[in-house]
Chains A and B, each alone.
Chain A
Amino acid sequence: MPLDEAHHDTGKARLDGFLRSVERRALRIAELSTGNRDEALDLVQDAMFAFVRHYTAKPEADWPPLFYRVLDSRVTDWHRRSQVRGRWLGSWWPARNVDSEEDPLATAPDTQEAGPLLRLMGEDAGQALEGALRGLPLRQRQAFLLRIWEGLDVADTATAMRCGEGSVKTHLWRALNALRLALEPHR
């Protein structure tokens, strides 16, 4: 096998391995923002295309934040389009509330139920957590998912979210507080 071809195959295998390693979490992250699996699959596919076109020449250590940067851009763009659509529809049907981020606690699970640990061990724990995550503002949800779930450090999360590290810390702090409020019982 020619050297170039072997090198190409190795590179493709590494890229394949990377995309395999992130694709399921990327899908869930997109799904938590869109609330729709088909839309989420489209966003992940778009993100994969853009990532391989622009960033595969970058060091592999940089791939995770760069991939999520592209995905975050796609999710944000989807969010903006849905808000524009919502405003347009709202002019026809003012009663319809398509922006679920006006009040994160309004869509969060009942806070009178069991606290985080009990809830997270219960049968509906996943649904409770996802409901609480969906109730967060977009940037808080992204900060939580990228930093806590994906495990990016603060600098990489800032790269992925195109903001400063201070903003990441602020969004994450607020996300943790909102989630705790949503999942903990009143004491």
Chain B
Amino acid sequence: MKPGPDWTEQARALLDASTRRLDASTLSRLNRARQRALDAAAAPRTALHWPRRLAIAASLLLAVAIWWPGSTPPAVATLSPEDAELLAEGELEMTDELEFYAWLDADGEHNG
């Protein structure tokens, strides 16, 4: 089943064409970025940032303690396992990111 109206096929074609027009410098930078990522994947991971992990774990524990058991958590403050994994690694600045997503969605409701 097509995901959108017929004109979206032409939109796809135009967007595809835009990727073929990327200049050599941009493609070279993409290639270097990919190679660096692949090298990072091959490198052994170190047990790093234990203080930061501990601080994040303590923050999460505190949040659970505050919310448990009487009060109900805010509807927007859901954390998937993937998010928790990224958060534990310090990959996401998520202390207010979930609220920001909710705000974006709410903003879309009003403006979109």
Any chain A CB within 8 A of the CB of B101?
yes
A-contact 0/1 string along B17-43, CB 8 Å cutoff: 111001000100110011011101110
Q: Does A80 contact B (CB under 8 A)?
A: yes
Using Cβ atoms and an 8 Å threshold, which residues of chain B touch A3? Answer: none
Whether a CB of chain B sits under 8 angstroms from the CB of A125 is yes
Q: A149-B11, A163-B105, A176-B4 are in contact. Are A49 and B83 (CB under 8 A)?
A: no
- Whether A130 is near chain B, meaning CB under 8 Å from some CB there, is yes
Question: Are B108 and A174 interface neighbours, CB within 8 A?
Answer: yes
> Which of chain A's residues have a CB closer than 8 A to the CB of B83?
162
Interface residues of A in 157-177 (CB under 8 A from B): 162-163, 167, 171-172, 174-176
With CB as the reference atom, state the residue of chain B lying closest to A175.
B112
By beta carbon, the residue of chain A nearest B109 is A170
A144–B74 CA distance with the chains assembled, in angstroms: 28
Chain B residues with CB below 8 A from A1, complex form: none
Which one of A8, A19, A130 contacts B37 once the chains associate, using CB atoms below 8 Å? A19
Q: CB-CB contacts of A80-113 with B at 8 A, as 1s and 0s?
A: 1000000000000000000001111000000000
B3 touches A23 (CB 8 A): no
State in angstroms the CA–CA spacing of A148 and B91 once bound together. 28
Interface bin, chain B: 35 or more
Contacts of A76 in B (CB 8 A): 97, 100-101, 104
Main SS class of interface, A: helix
Contact assessment for B104 and A139 in the assembled complex, using a CB-CB cutoff below 8 Å: yes
| A residues 48-93 touching B (CB-CB < 8 Å) | 48-54, 56, 66, 69-70, 73, 76-77, 80
Which A residue's beta carbon lies closest to that of B1?
Answer: A153
CB closest residue in chain A, given B33: A45
A78–B15 alpha-carbon span in the complex (Å): 22
Contact of A53 among B4, B89, B97 (CB under 8 A): B89
**In the assembled complex, how far is the CB of residue A51 from the closest CB belonging to chain B, in whole angstroms?**
7
Q: Report B's interface with A, CB cutoff 8 A.
A: 3-5, 7-8, 10-12, 14-15, 17-19, 22, 26, 29-30, 33-34, 36-38, 40-42, 45, 80, 82-83, 85-86, 89, 91-93, 97, 100-101, 104-105, 107-108, 111-112
> Footprint of B on A, CB under 8 Å?
8, 12, 15-16, 19-20, 23-25, 27-28, 37, 41, 44-45, 48-54, 56, 66, 69-70, 73, 76-77, 80, 101-104, 116-117, 120-121, 125-126, 129-130, 136-140, 145, 147-149, 151, 162-163, 167, 171-172, 174-176, 178-180, 183
Supplied contacts A45-B37, A145-B15, A148-B11, 4 more A-B pairs, CB within 8 Å:
A50-B91, A66-B82, A126-B14, A167-B105
